[in-house]
Amino acid sequence: MVDDDKLAVARARHAKGESVTAIAEAMGTSRTTLYRHIGAGHSSGSCHT
């Protein structure tokens, strides 16, 4: 589980261009968990029709 403080740090790091993989490794969590919480790469418009 990711607490609010760690999530805020993760979002800030990602906004500065750091990869989710690097952030997840530094936090000791999985990329899947981090993607779930920050929503990185899952913006609208990612579905191609």
Count structural domains, the chain: 1
Residue 16 lies in a domain: yes
Residue 47 lies in a domain: no
- How high is the pLDDT of residue 38? 87
Residue 26 lies in a domain: yes
SS3 5: helix
Residue 46 lies in a domain: no
Residue 34 lies in a domain: yes
Q: What is the crossing angle of helices 20-27 and 4-15, to 10°?
A: 150
Residue 49 lies in a domain: no
Residue 13 lies in a domain: yes
What digits encode the pLDDT tens for the residues 1-49?
Answer: 778 999 999 999 999 999 999 999 999 999 999 999 888 554 443 333 3
pTM over 0.85: no
- What residue numbers bound the domain in which 31 lies? 4-38
- How high is the pLDDT of residue 3? 86
- How high is the pLDDT of residue 41? 55
Rg of the chain in Å (alpha carbons): 11
